[in-house]
Structure 1
Amino acid sequence: MTPTSGPDWAGVRSRFAAASRFAYLDLARKALLPDTVRRATDEWLADVDETGGRRAFSMAEIEAARADVARVWGAPADRLAFVKNTSEGINIVALGLDWRPGDNLVISTEEHENNTFPWRPLAERGVELRIARAGPDGTVPVDAYRELVDARTRVVAVAWVTYGIGHRADLAAFAELCRGRGILLVVDAVQGLGILADPIAGLGADVVAAGGHKAQFSLAGAGIFHVSDRALDRLRPPYAAKFSFATLDRTDPAPARAPDAHRYEYGNPNFLGIWVQRRSALMVEEWGRAHVEARIRALTDRLIDGARRLGLRVATPVEWPRRAGIVSFDPGGRDADRLEALLAEDGVRAAAKDGRIRAAPHVYNDEADIDRFLDRLAFHLRRNATAAEAAQ
């Protein structure tokens, strides 16, 4: 591999056993897992068997993982906490701010449930949830949020990449909107991290939360929570446990909180999940984040171009700065759930979302996967149309 040529993508694909069995275009739900995960799991279990888990249950290994994971994804290690998933990270903010009756926060109609439901209980505390509406194209511009913020807005929460049509938010514009008003910018990054090359610390966000089970190639239950210097002391940890504090003195009546993101970690960490997460991050580092982004851009370009040739309407924005790894297709009034099932019977895995067909490739896909998806989708749409005409 050279910096200009990038990885051998066929070799990368061979590391994902399931990639040879079907065309898997459902990263936006869950990722296929590479051989790295099996090796890491075996290594972890072997240490438990051979030493009783000296390394497997070692906090020194957790800190080594924190350093590696933070470096790979572009964040300071002392501002990165290990959490279970995106929703846990969002809940830390929802429960940790000193909300007052009359405060408000702004999300949009296009947010995933995990960036919607954690905010709902705040209504019981007199906090208003304001919702920016999507325009006719399914995207929510920054101006739609700007119209809703005021002097009592405490949080703007936005997906880096929306789970439905895959619209990429202009996070620089959101950061500009929030920073001058003292608003915390909270980013659900699960559909962008590991796909886009931007470092976490360069997003301009106060909080970045992402589960690890998509493009981080980790296990479910192992994710990350990044907090900015500006937000650290504004977010009171909603729970407390051994590593939340700067001391282990159990007789201290008022222990100081840990001075960094450790304060958001409670009790035993997900030792196995973080062990895997570290090895998968190092694998991505070998490939290079920029190379990964370029590969996904090329595959999604092929999806969009192929769909246009077939006369399909693409709901996802076409310009690369406005999208990432998700491409969403309008099935022309056909039942998207039925199409998902038919594609699965053909060995093509995609998803029905919000009445559309959503395809999300990653580096384990190749051009043949894209072409197979387009061919089978076109076939089922034609067959459906023919059946409808015959029924008239």
Structure 2
Amino acid sequence: MKKEQARQLFPFIKNGIIYFNHASTAPVSIPVRESLCDLLKEKSESKIDDYHSFLKVYEETKNLLAEFINANPDRIAFIDNTSNGLNILASGMEWKSGDRILLNDIEFPANVYPFLNLKKFGVEVDFVKAKDGIVTAEDLIENIKPETRLISVSFVQFLSGYKIDLEVLGKFCRDKNVILSVDGIQGIGAINFDVQKFNVDFLSCGTQKWLFGAQGLAFIYLTEELQRKINPAYLGWLSFEDAWDLLNYSMKLKSNANVFQGGTLNTFGIYAFNTSVKIFKQFGFERIEENVISNTKYLRRRLNEIGVNCLIDEVSDEYYSGITTFRTDDIEKLFKFLEDKKIVCSLREGYIRLSPHFYNTFDEIDFVVNSIKEFINKKV
């Protein structure tokens, strides 16, 4: 699949909308819309209770996702959102007073509150302070203490777009027997992610942003070794090996990640995600990142050319992701100005956040940058 073919999958483009907001919510593609319409038609007219067909789609989706992040499908479970995924880890571990968890002070709250909640058990939570909006792998490593049992960090920082070096951090954590937990929602789907290469112990990621999935569907990945240390805080009927022997109550837990899928899954979300991951595969998993980073570099250069400085301009482009963030005077007025021009982006913490994906073009970037320049010149 070529970029122009991919662009045909998104009807809003023909309506003159420039969508640079994938770090917030993904647009619905035509294939996803058709997939869900077909499913609704079946469930309203014929195959109302077709669990076996769903199982085929479910297994295919998990296999596709496993290929995408280089994981064994048995190590992946579907859940409802990133926050609850991180709570599975936080609430399932056996903590003792004096254990320490290492975070940083620019994390999205979803990757903070599940661990702060453990303070009631005497767990200490340490925060690494960001420097110029950046927390590096080395910053985290330097702040590990003998009592540190777990580090949780975002693959990509939600505001600046800084991509942490998980390969360096993961190797250190594995060598020191420190659990590495990753919030992947702002990177996976835009940037290549390899759980083996990064030595990730636990991953939680929603599908509704860069992965073009639906709200209400997420997934976790965890190693077999880590799962043996987790006592699930919640169990459902599908958490057990003999789930369909309904009156057995054997209490024999599944040994794979499916133990965390205790009940009915988000069927519509999985059908949507199945379709989206197939689009990624057709385009080429490796080419996704190439296009995203190419767009980011071009966008940052064009913004710099009109006198706009971005967050993390000073770092090497190896730490770039799909997110570019900047601030100007009258930022809320600029946001409204862009909105009126059908440019969709986000206003976060007093900054404009732009997040184009692989199918966005340099022409669209030029239009966005020229619109920002127009606004600035009007203010002069």
- TM-score norm. by structure 1 comes to 0.91
Deviation sequence 1:54-104 (CA, Å, 0-9, x none):
158733432232223322332210001001121111111111110111111
In the alignment, which residue of structure 1 is the partner of 2:75?
79
Q: Is the 8 A contact 1:219 1:273 kept in 2?
A: yes
Question: Paired residue for 2:168?
Answer: 173
* Matched position secondary structure for 1:81: strand
Structure 1 residue 376: deviation in Å? 1.1
Aligned equivalents of 1:201, 1:337: Cα separation in 2: 42
Pair 1:263-2:259 in alignment: yes
Q: Write the distance in 2 (CA, Å) between the matches of 1:250 and 1:148.
A: 49
Match of 2:37 in 1: 42
* Contact 2:68/2:193 (8 A) holds in 1: no
> SS of the counterpart of 1:175?
helix
1:17 maps to what in 2? 11
Q: What fraction of aligned residue pairs are identical, expressed as a percent?
A: 24
SS across alignment from 1:293: helix
Please give the secondary structure, in 2, of the residue aligned with 1:145: helix
> In the TM superposition, what whole-angstrom CA distance separates every residue of 1:310-365 from its partner, at most 9, and x where no partner exists?
1111213453321110111232xx13333212210121112222222211101332
Determine if contact 1:76/1:201 at 8 Å carries over to the other structure.
no
Give distance in 2, aligned partners of 1:214 and 1:43. Answer: 23
The answer to whether structure 1 residue 151 and structure 2 residue 124 are counterparts is: no
In structure 2, the partner of 1:208 is 203
Deviation at 1:221, TM superposition (A): 0.8
User: Alignment partner for residue 350 of structure 1, among 334, 338, 345?
Assistant: 345
Q: Give the structure 1 partner of residue 192 of structure 2.
A: 197
Secondary structure of the residue that 1:156 maps to in structure 2? strand
Query: Which of the residues 338, 363, 366 maps onto 2:361?
Result: 366
Q: 1:289 to 1:47 in 2, by over 3 A?
A: same
Structure 1 alignment gaps of length 5 or more: 1-6, 387-392
Contact preservation (8 Å) 1:336, 1:355: yes
How far apart are the structure 2 equivalents of 1:239 and 1:194?
29
Aligned to 1:120: 116
Matched, 1:322 2:319: yes
CA contact (8 A) 1:83 1:89 kept: yes
C-alpha separation in 1, matches of 2:138 and 2:357: 32
Match of 1:300 among 292, 296, 299: 296
* Cα distance change on mapping 1:296 and 1:129 into 2, 3 Å: same
Counterparts in 2 of 1:378 and 1:217: CA distance versus 1, 3 Å: same
2:180 corresponding residue in structure 1: 185
Please say if residues 158 and 188 of structure 1, whose CA atoms lie closer than 8 Å, have aligned partners that are also in contact.
yes
Mapped contact 1:16–1:364 kept (Cα < 8 A): no
Q: Which runs of 4+ in 1 moved over 4 A?
A: 249-254
Contact 2:80 2:217 in 1 (8 A): yes
Compute the displacement of 1:146 (Å): 2.5
Q: What is the root-mean-square deviation of aligned Cα atoms in Å?
A: 1.8
Query: Which residue of the partner structure matches residue 107 of structure 2?
Result: 111
1:251 deviation in Å? 5.8
Tell me whether 189-198 or 159-168 shows the greater mean CA deviation.
189-198
- CA displacement at 1:252 relative to structure 2: 5.5
Letter in 1 for 2:216: G
Q: Which moved more, 1:216-225 or 1:176-185?
A: 176-185
Does the alignment pair 1:32 with 2:27? yes
SS of residue in 1 equivalent to 2:135: coil
Residues 105 and 307 of structure 1: CA distance in aligned 2, closer, same or farther (over 3 Å): same
TM-score, normalised via structure 2 length: 0.94
SS at match of 1:313: coil
Distance 1:214 1:288 in 2: 18
The 1:103–1:291 alpha-carbon spacing in structure 2 relative to 1, beyond 3 Å, is: same
